[in-house]
Amino acid sequence: MFETAQPIPPGLPLSLSEEIAVVDEEVMELRRQLAEKLRLQNKQLEVLLKRFDAP
């Protein structure tokens, strides 16, 4: 369901800027996943509210 960033093979030394870039990509992916999950939950809550709000 969710894609994750490609892991960095162990043993390959990364510069600080490369490590920062990898972490930034991971953070962006996690934010995207969270936003998608929240959108889905909002839709589900709207359906429930309509069901219980209807006269």
Answer for the pair 33, 2: CB distance below 8 angstroms, yes or no: yes
Cα gap 51→36, rounded to integer Å: 23
DSSP, residue by residue, 1-55: ----PPPPPTT----HHHHHHHHHHHHHHHHHHHHHHHHHHHHHHHHHHHHHH--
Place of tokens 């959108």: 39
- Tens digit of each residue's pLDDT (9 = 90 or more) over 1-55: 556 666 666 667 889 999 999 999 999 999 999 999 999 999 999 999 999 886 5
Query: Per-domain residue ranges for the chain?
Result: 16-55
